[in-house]
């Protein structure tokens, strides 16, 4: 398979951002802020990094797996899955509608290709990812498990039990990424519940950690993920701290929690679309 160029990946980022704001605008519901901030990561992961099969089966044997823990950023997840060929791009038009497979938080009973767990109950994705990584070890499957978590989500205690377990059991085929944007639904994480130095916390729990300070530059994200891959298989789980900007790519949504779960109106949508040119065709 020919890998996309940096320009092609940047074009995909622009298109995914259009998808995000259009989806939440149509139903006046959803979470654009975190979705926009994680766009580069998701595009890089599915189009450059993961070794994934073109089809989809729930077992996920002999391919890399991804688990979205902070499930409220489903708009970016759905857009990237559709653009990667898991289901028709036109289905994005059904986001959050009754009987749609694209609910506000990903679920499994609708059978949406690409989605292996229901998520959105924050704090649970780490445990699931560890379980999947252990299953790959039992199956002698050398592929990796990736997961994504919000920084505010780490305020949930279940994470730290799982983080301790993964290090204690040498789950070294797991790469967990933390979307470190410093924002959560009620404000800055430093105001709601200060997290301290997340990287040092993971280090103290026995993980191998790396920091990507330019989490909204596609080249930096790819370099960080490639480095994380090199560190797997060495007896420690790997954590990538990804410094991002909530709402990135839409200037009036950036640097604030205000757009965590708020949809743009008609005028704001036009403004957001004007900042992100159509590159692959809207749905």
Provide the CATH number for the domain around residue 47.
3.40.50.970
279 domain-assigned: no
Q: What is the pLDDT of residue 2?
A: 73
Percent of the chain predicted with pLDDT > 70: 100
Q: Which residues contact 20 (CB under 8 A, 6 or more apart)?
A: 32, 35, 36, 39, 75, 76, 79
The whole-chain average pLDDT of the chain stands at: 96
**Helix or strand holding residue 66 (H, E):** strand 65-68
Which structure tokens are listed for 8?
């092609």
Measured from the Cβ of residue 158, the count of other Cβ atoms closer than 10 Å reads 15
- In this prediction, residue 1 carries a pLDDT of 56
Question: Given pLDDT bands bounded at 50, 70 and 90, which one contains residue 3?
Answer: confident
Band (pLDDT 50/70/90 cuts) for residue 141 is very high
Q: What residues contact 12, with CB distance under 8 A and at least 6 apart?
A: 4, 43, 47, 83, 279, 280
1 lies in some domain? no
Question: Is 283 a member of any domain?
Answer: no
At 12-49, the pLDDT tens digits run 999 999 999 999 999 999 999 999 999 999 999 999 99
Containing H/E element for 43?
A: helix 39-44
In a domain, 281, yes or no: no
Rounded-to-integer distance, Cα 257 and Cα 246, Å: 7
In a domain, 63, yes or no: yes
pLDDT at residue 70 above 90?
A: yes
- Residue 155: CA count within 13 A, CB half-sphere: 16
**Is the Cα dihedral 176, 249, 81, 153 positive or negative?**
positive
- Its domain, for residue 146, covers 6-274
DSSP string, 136-182: HHHTT----EEEEEETGGGGSHHHHHHHHHHHHTT-TTEEEEEEE-S
DSSP classification of residue 249: T
Whether residue 24 is contained in a domain is answered as yes
pLDDT digits (tens, 9 = 90+) for 160-198: 999 999 999 999 999 999 999 999 999 999 999 999 999
Structure tokens at 2: 């020919």
Structural domain total, the chain: 1
Q: What is the pLDDT of residues 73-122, one digit of tens each?
A: 999 999 999 999 999 999 999 999 999 999 999 999 889 999 999 998 99
pLDDT in tens, 227-257: 999 999 999 999 999 999 999 999 999 999 9
Please indicate, yes or no, if residue 280 is contained in any of the structural domains: no
Say what the pTM is: 0.97
């Amino acid at each position: 398979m020919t890998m996309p160029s940096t320009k092609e990946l940047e074009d995909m980022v622009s298109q995914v951002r259009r998808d995000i704001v259009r989806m939440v605008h149509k139903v006046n519901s959803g979470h654009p802020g975190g979705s926009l901030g994680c766009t580069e990561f998701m595009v890089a992961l599915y189009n450059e990094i993961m070794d994934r099969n073109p089809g989809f089966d729930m077992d996920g044997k002999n391919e890399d797996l991804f688990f979205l823990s902070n499930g409220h950023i489903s708009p970016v997840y759905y857009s990237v899955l559709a653009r990667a060929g898991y289901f028709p791009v036109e289905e994005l038009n059904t986001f959050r509608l009754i009987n749609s497979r694209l609910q506000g938080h990903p679920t499994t009973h609708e059978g949406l290709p690409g989605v292996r767990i229901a998520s959105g109950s924050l704090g649970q994705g780490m445990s699931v990812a560890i379980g999947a990584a252990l299953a790959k070890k039992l199956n002698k499957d050398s592929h990796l498990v990736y997961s994504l978590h919000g920084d505010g989500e780490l305020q949930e205690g279940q994470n730290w039990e799982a983080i301790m377990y993964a290090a204690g059991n040498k789950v070294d085929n797991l790469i967990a990424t933390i979307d470190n944007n410093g924002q959560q639904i009620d404000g800055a994480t430093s105001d709601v519940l200060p997290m301290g130095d997340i990287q040092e916390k993971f280090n103290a729990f026995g993980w191998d950690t790396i920091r990507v300070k330019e989490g909204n530059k596609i080249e930096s994200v790819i370099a960080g993920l490639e480095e994380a891959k090199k560190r797997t298989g060495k007896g420690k789980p790997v954590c990538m701290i990804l410094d991002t900007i909530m709402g990135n790519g839409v200037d009036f949504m950036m640097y604030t929690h205000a757009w965590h779960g708020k949809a743009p109106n008609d005028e704001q949508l036009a403004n957001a679309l004007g900042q992100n040119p159509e590159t692959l065709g809207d749905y």
